C-alpha cells in the first residue's frame, strides 16, 4: 500500500503548552481518514503542520513523500486545504474564487477553464458563477470551498471541519463528493465533530489534549470501547492512554 501521509512523534508547542504531543500515524492513498477530538485537542494544529503552514517543534512527517520541514513549498503546491473558516473571498463571485485559486496553484488557463466548469457542475453551482460569494448560504459556500481546494486536482486534501454549520442534506451531498474523490485515489484527511461523519471514514484517529488516544476503524473503536455508537466510543476513549503500533510506552505529557 502506498503511504500518502506519515507522521512520527509529531509535536508542536506554543511556549510551554503542548498542542500536539508526539503523534504518530500513517495514511494510505485513497483512504478517508477521520480526525476527531474535543475542541482544542490539536486537530487544526496538526493539519497546519501537515499542510506546510506551521513548523513542528519535534518529530517527523511526510506528505506525498515530501518532508514537512524541508519541502513545505512543494507540499503546499500539491495538496488541497479547506481551512476551518472556508478561506473564500466574500467579495469575489463564485467564478472569480475558482479562478483566483486556480491562479494561486498555477493551473494553466485552458485547464483552469475546464476545471472551473467541472467543479461548477459537481458542486451544483452552475448558473451561479456571477453570484457574490457573500450571498451564498453556508452549504453552498462549503461546496465552493471544496471546489477551490480541488481546482489543481490534488492527490491529498485536508478538510478542517468542512461541514460545521451545514444542514444534513448538504452534508450528505458533500460526503458523496468525498467518496467520489476517494474512489479516484485521492486521500482525504477530514476533521469533524459529527459522529455519523466519523462512521463514514475508513479509519478514525481520536486526539485528546494533543495526544493520540485511539486509532482504528469506526467498528474497531466501538469494539475497543465496548459500546454501540461512535458518540459513546468518543466519550469513552478520549482520555484513555494509547500505545501506537510504532509505540512508545513513555509518551510524556510534557508542559503540564
CA gap 162, 197 in Å, rounded: 11
CA 187 to each of CA 34, 64, 195, 197: distance values in angstroms, whole numbers, following the listed order: 11, 10, 20, 16
Longest dimension (CA), the chain: 57
Q: Which is nearer to Mg ion, 88 or 123 (CB)?
A: 88
State the nearest-atom distance from the C-beta of 124 to ligand ATP, in Å.
27
State the nearest-atom distance from the C-beta of 51 to Mg ion, in Å.
13
Report which of 212, 204, 205 is spatially closest to residue 251, judged by C-alpha positions. Answer: 212
Q: Which is nearer to Mg ion, 44 or 133 (CB)?
A: 44
Report which of 246, 249, 214 is spatially closest to residue 37, judged by C-alpha positions. Answer: 214
Residues within the interface to Mg ion (CB under 5 A): 43-44
State the nearest-atom distance from the C-beta of 15 to ligand ATP, in Å.
7
State the nearest-atom distance from the C-beta of 117 to Mg ion, in Å.
32
Q: Are 143 and 169 spatial neighbours (Cβ–Cβ below 8 Å)?
A: no
Q: Footprint of ligand ATP on residues 84-103 (CB under 6 A)?
A: 84
Q: Footprint of ligand ATP on residues 37-56 (CB under 6 A)?
A: 37, 39-45
Which of Mg ion, ligand ATP, none sits in contact with 45, Cβ below 5 to 8 A by type? Answer: ligand ATP
Which of ligand ATP, Mg ion, none sits in contact with 41, Cβ below 5 to 8 A by type? Answer: ligand ATP
Overall residue count recorded for the chain in this entry: 256
Amino acid at each position: 500500500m502506498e503511504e500518502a501521509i506519515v507522521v512520527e512523534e509529531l509535536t508542536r508547542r506554543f511556549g510551554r503548552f503542548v498542542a500536539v504531543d508526539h503523534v504518530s500515524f500513517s495514511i494510505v492513498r485513497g483512504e478517508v481518514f477521520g480526525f476527531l477530538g474535543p475542541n482544542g485537542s490539536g486537530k487544526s494544529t496538526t493539519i497546519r503542520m501537515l499542510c506546510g503552514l506551521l513548523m513542528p517543534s519535534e518529530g517527523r512527517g511526510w506528505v506525498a513523500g515530501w518532508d514537512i520541514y524541508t519541502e513545505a513549498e512543494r507540499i503546499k503546491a500539491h495538496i488541497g486545504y479547506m481551512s476551518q473558516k472556508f478561506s473564500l473571498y466574500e467579495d469575489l463571485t463564485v467564478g472569480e474564487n475558482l479562478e483566483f485559486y486556480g491562479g494561486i496553484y498555477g493551473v494553466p488557463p485552458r485547464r483552469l477553464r475546464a476545471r472551473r466548469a467541472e467543479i461548477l457542475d459537481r458542486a451544483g453551482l452552475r448558473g451561479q458563477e456571477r453570484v457574490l460569494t457573500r450571498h451564498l448560504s453556508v452549504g453552498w459556500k462549503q461546496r465552493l470551498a471544496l471546489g477551490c481546494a480541488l481546482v489543481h486536482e490534488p492527490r491529498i486534501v485536508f478538510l478542517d471541519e468542512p461541514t460545521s454549520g451545514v444542514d444534513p442534506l448538504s452534508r450528505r451531498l458533500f460526503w458523496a463528493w468525498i467518496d467520489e474523490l476517494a474512489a479516484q485515489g485521492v486521500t482525504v484527511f477530514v476533521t469533524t465533530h459529527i459522529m455519523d461523519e466519523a462512521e463514514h471514514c475508513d479509519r478514525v484517529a481520536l486526539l485528546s489534549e494533543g495526544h493520540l488516544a485511539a486509532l482504528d476503524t469506526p467498528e474497531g473503536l466501538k469494539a475497543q470501547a465496548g459500546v454501540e455508537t461512535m458518540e459513546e466510543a468518543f466519550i469513552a476513549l478520549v482520555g484513555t492512554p494509547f500505545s501506537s503500533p510504532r509505540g512508545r510506552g513513555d509518551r510524556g505529557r510534557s508542559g503540564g
